Amino acid sequence: MTKDEFINEGRKVIQLEAEAVAGLSSSINEAFADACRSILECSGRVVVVGMGKSGHIGSKIAATLASTGSPAFFVHPGEASHGDLGMITPDDLVIAISNSGKTPEILSILPMIKRLGVPLISMTSVKDNPLCDLADVCLEVGVEKEACPLNLAPTSSTTAALAMGDALAVALLKARNFTEQDFALSHPGGSLGKRLLLYVSDIMHRGDDVPLVNETASLESALLEMTGKGLGMTGIINEAGQLTGIYTDGDLRRTLNKGLNLDASVTEVMTHEPAITHPGTLAAEVVNMMQQNSFNSIIAVDNDYRPVGALNMHDLLKAGLV
């Protein structure tokens, strides 16, 4: 095949699968609403089963449900008949995925599922099949043809099933009033989790590691404090311990341009009314503040404006927020 032929074949597949997903609109009907309601009423977990490619799709659907507020896991139907069926309890709900609705491994475990009284939702290509006949709710995810030119390899059909699973997950997310904070709690290791769960207090330097000098300090003392603490700045405090200014690397460059000597008071060259943050502020907000205002260090203060911590862009980088 030529380069153009490869490109054309790839585009055909994308087009066919896009049409398959678009065709699902008619399947978002009363049966879909019944499926959502059944899952919301489930006091246990959603157990997803499927063989072959449908099993891979089922595993992803279970993962998406679990991460969006609907506890779920995947059970391989072949393993279920050899002990894993014990993972399903009467409080659970089962979603069975089978393009034909005739998958033997799934049909063989249905008697036990029905005996437990577990609600059953099926995803099949048509409604007239054994699996759909036994299901409490039947979701139709059929496609006109597979993207495979032989019309054999599961392609468009698995994409359609995946899209239906996403539709269920998102509808349920909305119904549960699932928030970004809820999502972050189940994704603490991801970038979103860090952005929503990390506070200034989690990453700021504290105590003696916070660079601070008194208003009476000389420029030389301020430079020594900056160098010693390595945050690229020092806070300036008054006799009451309140922050009145900040002196940064940028201020140092401006000081050198003015030709001031090191005996000058730091108050002559400090930045008055500096940007500040608080320990309870989300660290992601500090990232935005720094990027929008082009500074690299910040002091965290308490309600009395006394410094309690400090951090710089390097700390935010280490925390994975930039």
CATH number for the domain that contains residue 206: 3.10.580.10
| 7 lies in the same domain as 83 | yes
| 14 lies in the same domain as 92 | yes
| 98 lies in the same domain as 236 | no
| Pairing relationship of beta strands 233-237 and 72-75 according to DSSP bridges | unpaired
Report yes or no on whether pTM surpasses 0.75.
no
Q: Which of 178, 209, 237 is the last residue of a domain?
A: 178
Mean pLDDT of the chain: 90
* Per-residue confidence band for 186, with pLDDT thresholds at 50, 70 and 90: low
Mind listing the pLDDT tens digit for each residue in 106-145?
A: 999 999 999 999 999 999 998 889 999 999 999 999 998 8
**Largest Cα span, the chain:** 90
72 or 179: which leads in pLDDT:
72
110 or 195: which leads in pLDDT:
110
Domain span at residue 103 reads 3-178
| 23 lies in the same domain as 168 | yes
Cα of 142 vs its chain's centroid, Å: 30
Count structural domains, the chain: 2
Mind listing the pLDDT tens digit for each residue in 240-298?
A: 999 999 998 888 877 777 767 778 889 988 999 899 999 999 888 999 999 998 889 99
Q: From the DSSP assignment, how many helices (H) and strands (E) are in the chain?
A: 15, 12
Structural domain contains residue 163? yes
pLDDT score for 275? 92
- Cβ 132 vs Cβ 138: under 8 Å: yes
Structural domain contains residue 27? yes
| 26 lies in the same domain as 120 | yes
Question: For helices 156-175 and 30-41, what crossing angle results, to 10°?
Answer: 60
DSSP string, 163-178: HHHHHHHHHHHHHTT-
pLDDT score for 2? 94
Range with the poorest average pLDDT among 1-15, 68-82, 103-117, 175-189: 175-189
pLDDT score for 185? 64
Structural domain contains residue 193? no
| 33 lies in the same domain as 86 | yes
Q: Which of 178, 208, 228 is the last residue of a domain?
A: 178
- Cβ 95 vs Cβ 64: under 8 Å: no
Question: For helices 156-175 and 52-67, what crossing angle results, to 10°?
Answer: 20
pLDDT score for 1? 86
| 278 lies in the same domain as 240 | yes
| 223 lies in the same domain as 294 | yes
pLDDT score for 216? 92
Mind listing the pLDDT tens digit for each residue in 46-83?
A: 999 999 999 999 999 999 999 899 999 999 998 887 77
Average pLDDT over residues 290-312: 93
Structural domain contains residue 184? no
Cβ neighbours of residue 162 closer than 8 Å, sequence gap 6 or more: 57, 60, 61
